Structure 1
Amino acid sequence: MQPRIVIVDDHPLMCIAVRLVLEREGYEIVAECHTGADCIQTVRSLEPDLVVLDLSIPKLDGFSVIDRLRSSNVKTSILILTSSDSNHYAFRCLQAGASGFVCKDDKLEELTQAVKAVLAGYSYFQKEVTDQLRENAFMTARKTTSTHASELSLLTDRELTVFGLLVKGMNNQEISHTLMLSHKTISTYKIRLMNKLNAPNMVELVKIAQRNDIATT
């Protein structure tokens, strides 16, 4: 019996491309979802072997989906396939409970390698990510913190998500709709971001994003 996979991406053409690549390898695609809310409902209903999940999806972002699936009883593995920069997001996905991370900028052939690894019970992350995990464990054991931490390491997963959407030009109302949070909550996150990053306005937030290779378009 072939492994059963759910694809989660709000871009239909990407869903088609991923489906074609995986079906060519003999995998069964049991569903395609375009929002985080639909993903959670579908996975709980079908209990597939694997979810191929984009981080930037409407109605619950990828981190929220990971958190909710991991807190439920389903044993579905999660493989992230996203355009979000791996330097800032891959390690957070590992910490959140994902089993692998592939960037859309890479060839889709790498996706098949990642799927095979995750379904076999292995993790699939760049060496830099696993090295960072070991370094963090070492630093935690010594109860010290790195003096070379990125500016963005100050942010929580949700703050990083809001930050990424803000610098792409989305307004508070659009972000609140995407993340299924109130307009007031998004305003609070925006203020918190500016305080943590010492950015008095959106221009400075965009500069920080560019300095840290966060896409602003």
Structure 2
Amino acid sequence: MVPRVVIIDDHPLMRMAVRVVLERDGCEVVAECHSGADGVQAVRTHKPDLVILDLAIPNLDGLSVIGRLRNPTLAASILVLTASDSRNYAMRCLQAGASGFVCKDDRLDELSGAVKAVLAGYSYFPRVVTDMFRDGVQELLPQKEGTASELDGLTDREMTILGLLVKGMNNHEIGRTLMLSHKTVSTYKIRLMGKLNAPTMVDLIKVAERNGIETI
């Protein structure tokens, strides 16, 4: 049986590149979606074997999409393909229910192998995540200001908003992307500043960038 795949990514060129890899490997792309909300609906309609998912998508962020698709009636495996930093997002994706995590690069070198592994029933995650399980710990980096452990206390939604702030989006733009009011976004921003001990936006962005959150 030919594996059926839904691609959820807001970049048309990336969707095209992913489609080329998938079709070369004998998969059938049954839907391409640019937003999280459309992606969830497409998965419910087509019931694919696999979902290729970016995290930085409009209307419903990738982590929220994973949560929506963790439903007994939807058997699709989820492979995250994103520019998000693996130190901060891979474990969160695993905990949310994804089957794999691959960082984007210009050649998509890992995608083919990751797709085959996930379709065969295996997990496919960066070594930083597998090391965490092997060692039985959640934190691999030193406990000091500006390391990834400083972000462990953030919720998935806070991590998403932090990444969008670093991209230069304002409260209204973030609100439209995540379907939140700008007042709610403002509340999240204030909470982030408190949690990360960053009294200004400049300080908040510096903390994020030191942790590898340059874009999501």
Shorter-chain TM-score bucket reads: over 0.9
Counterpart in the other structure of 1:159: 158
The question of 1:62 aligning with 2:94 is answered no
| Local SS of the residue matching 1:150 | helix
Q: Given the superposition, is the C-alpha separation of residues 27 and 185 from structure 1 closer, same or farther in structure 2, using an over 3 Å criterion?
A: same
Q: Percent identity?
A: 69
The question of 1:206 aligning with 2:212 is answered no
Q: Which runs of 5+ in 2 are unaligned?
A: none
**What is the TM-score of this pair, normalised by structure 1?**
0.92
* Aligned-partner Cα distance in 2 for 1:64–1:57: 10
Counterpart in the other structure of 1:143: none
| Alignment check: 8 A CA contact 2:167 2:215 kept | yes
Q: Aligned runs of 1:1-217 on 2, under 5 Å? A: 1-71=1-71, 73-105=73-105, 107-135=107-135, 138=136, 148=143, 150-215=149-214
User: By how many angstroms is 1:193 displaced?
Assistant: 0.2
Structure 1 residue ranges (4+ consecutive) displaced by more than 3 angstroms after TM superposition: none
| Local SS of the residue matching 2:29 | strand
Q: Which runs of 5+ in 1 are unaligned?
A: 141-145
User: By how many angstroms is 1:151 displaced?
Assistant: 1.1
2:159 maps to a residue whose letter is: L
* Aligned-partner Cα distance in 1 for 2:43–2:14: 19
2:191 maps to a residue whose letter is: R
Deviations 1:69-108 (A, max 9, x none): 1146201100000011111111110111000000002741
* Aligned-partner Cα distance in 2 for 1:50–1:216: 25
1:74 maps to a residue whose letter is: L
| Local SS of the residue matching 1:203 | helix
| Local SS of the residue matching 2:121 | coil
User: By how many angstroms is 1:147 displaced?
Assistant: 7.5
* Aligned-partner Cα distance in 2 for 1:198–1:134: 32
User: By how many angstroms is 1:51 displaced?
Assistant: 0.3
* Aligned-partner Cα distance in 2 for 1:213–1:164: 10
| Alignment check: 8 A CA contact 1:7 1:32 kept | yes
Q: Given the superposition, is the C-alpha separation of residues 60 and 52 from structure 1 closer, same or farther in structure 2, using an over 3 Å criterion?
A: same
* Aligned-partner Cα distance in 2 for 1:211–1:82: 19
